[in-house]
Chains A and B, each alone.
Chain A
Amino acid sequence: MAVGAASPIPATGVFLYKLNNPSLRVSMLHKRKGNPFTEGSRELFDLAGQGRIDVFFLGGAQIDGAANINLVRAEGRRFPGSFGSAFMYPMVPRTILFREEHSKRTLVPKVEFISAAGNPQALLTGKALFGWQKDRRRFRLESVHPGHGVDEVRQETGFDFDFQEVTTTKAPSDEELSLLRGPVAKAIQADYPDFAKRVWGLN
């Protein structure tokens, strides 16, 4: 699994997963200490080009119903740019899309600029989890997080999606929560001090 730039939420998930699966190989692109890369910043892309990366994570200023992501511009505003997404998305077999803000502003019918196109494994937001139907090229709502509902998700999503049997996203167990608040938060802090402060209250 590889975690790219500006990805504190995926980094948190991957750290938690690794605690229970120690044999998992993880690379964090911007890890300040003990970074696995020794061939410079091209190494991640060379690994992906060879098929050595199984799972990657991508966010987007906008994400649309065809699973395109936009990291370049929206509503007259300029964003940082596409980073490695145009390459990683089609090259990595399982790319998980993530965007904490679940709104019509972020989840749109059609992105203004396609930074990258691909077939994602899933789309995870602050309200819900979507699966991707490759044959139909449409998202399917799989679960809504505790405290949110299907109607709310329909209202707050700018694109059409399928849904049938929607479950409630499983909340973390007490053990997972204590890992998240303990060793995971601590590990994240080294590379994402602001995130660790905002979310976990670490100073």
Chain B
Amino acid sequence: MPPDYSMPAMEVVRELIRRKSRNLRLLGVPVLGMCADLLIGAGCVAEVESSAVSLGEAGLAPRFSEAVEENLIRMKDATCPAIHTALQAAEKGVPFMPLRGVLGSDLIAGRKDWKVLQNPFSPGEDPILFVPSVTPDVALFHARWADEAGNVWIGRRKELATIAHASRNTFVTVEEIRKGDMLEDELLAPGVLSATYVSGVAQAPNGAWPLGIAGVYGIDDAHLALYAKAAKTREGFEQYLKEFVWSPKKSFSPASSPA
């Protein structure tokens, strides 16, 4: 899943909660926010791998923090470029990829799947981190457009392409389904994820709300602050779910923030 600022499929998150999904393993590319906090609080999640889980300016992700403190989920701490690198290895079909930096961080001790090895091309001592490729079962995000040919427009959010390339399945919700084939439009084509990578598309207007989708509607900062406050307690979180998740109509409130 992408972070809150990169077109998250919030309506799908709400539906996963309504369907009482269990034992999900979330991979944040490279961080997670409200989507993950909701899923964790609703008991859908067994494991999180991410560089961070936070609500940004709205503060800590309260359901995530409590779940880790109380040992309710497994947390695999990472650092942003390690996650990008692992997905890029999967994109290329190679088993691992090296990454500079990170040495000296306690993250390495917590990750039995990472290895620090000698750079095989260096004559002198040169330790470097190797991360294994990661192939997620599902890439999940929300986008502005899909077209009749099954292509999805992601614009500049190229981490979504990386996730899709690396994953076995890619499911996308979109604001709008366009006529025709966006790959025939030279201006749109550079921002298009080809249908080759897309397993399924569904239309969900305002599907990122209360998060945003660049150029269409912005993050609903007031709602995010409301969530951050409510989710501080288990009772407040349950009340939030009641109001904004269990009754689906409310989740389609028109977004009012500037794009």
A-chain residues with CB within 8 Å of residue B79 when the two chains form the complex: 82-87, 115-116
CB <8 Å contact, B51 and A81: yes
Binds A, one of B154-162, B172-180, B200-208, B245-253: B154-162
Q: In chain A, residues 34-74, which have Cβ atoms closer than 8 Å to a Cβ of chain B?
A: 35, 37-43, 45-46, 48-49, 71-73
B-chain residues with CB within 8 Å of residue A1 when the two chains form the complex: none
A-B pairs with beta carbons under 8 A, tally: 145
B-chain residues with CB within 8 Å of residue A41 when the two chains form the complex: 3, 6, 29-30, 80, 84, 159
Chain A interface residue count, Cβ-Cβ cutoff 8 angstroms: 46
Rounded to whole angstroms, the CA-CA distance of A47 and B64 in the bound complex is 31
B221 on the interface (CB 8 Å rule)?
yes
CB <8 Å contact, B156 and A38: yes
B-chain residues with CB within 8 Å of residue A79 when the two chains form the complex: 60, 65
Binds A, one of B14-22, B96-104, B142-150: B96-104
Interface centre among A38, A81, A87, A192 (most CB of B within 10 A): A81
On whether A193 and B57 interact (CB within 8 A), knowing A32-B218, A114-B106, A117-B105, the answer reads: yes
B31 on the interface (CB 8 Å rule)?
yes
Q: Nearest Cβ in chain B — how far from A151, in angstroms?
A: 33
On whether A40 and B104 interact (CB within 8 A), knowing A83-B80, A84-B30, the answer reads: no
CB <8 Å contact, B52 and A83: yes
A19 on the interface (CB 8 Å rule)?
no
CB <8 Å contact, A42 and B84: yes
Cβ-defined partner of B101 (8 Å) among A6, A43, A86:
A86
Q: Nearest Cβ in chain A — how far from B104, in angstroms?
A: 3
A-chain residues with CB within 8 Å of residue B64 when the two chains form the complex: 78
CB <8 Å contact, B81 and A49: yes
On whether A83 and B51 interact (CB within 8 A), knowing A32-B214, A78-B68, A115-B106, the answer reads: yes
B56 on the interface (CB 8 Å rule)?
yes
CB <8 Å contact, B158 and A117: no
CB <8 Å contact, A78 and B65: yes
B77 on the interface (CB 8 Å rule)?
yes
On whether A82 and B162 interact (CB within 8 A), knowing A6-B54, A194-B57, the answer reads: no
B82 on the interface (CB 8 Å rule)?
yes
Q: Nearest Cβ in chain A — how far from B26, in angstroms?
A: 13
Chain A interfacial positions (CB closer than 8 Å to B): 5-6, 8, 30, 32, 35, 37-43, 45-46, 48-49, 71-73, 76-91, 113-118, 192-195
The list of the 4 closest CB pairs from A to B, nearest first, reads A40-B158, A81-B52, A117-B104, A40-B159
30 A-B pairs with CB atoms under 8 Å apart are: A6-B54, A37-B156, A39-B158, A40-B160, A41-B6, A41-B29, A41-B80, A41-B84, A42-B81, A42-B158, A42-B162, A46-B81, A78-B66, A80-B52, A80-B61, A81-B53, A81-B78, A82-B77, A82-B105, A84-B30, A84-B80, A87-B80, A87-B99, A87-B102, A90-B100, A90-B104, A115-B105, A115-B107, A118-B104, A193-B221
* Additional A-B contacts beyond A78-B68, A82-B52 (10; CB < 8 A): A37-B156, A40-B158, A71-B52, A77-B69, A80-B31, A84-B30, A86-B79, A87-B82, A90-B104, A115-B106
Chain B interfacial positions (CB closer than 8 Å to A): 3, 5-6, 29-31, 50-54, 56-58, 60-61, 64-66, 68-69, 77-82, 84, 88, 99-107, 156-162, 212, 214, 218-219, 221, 225
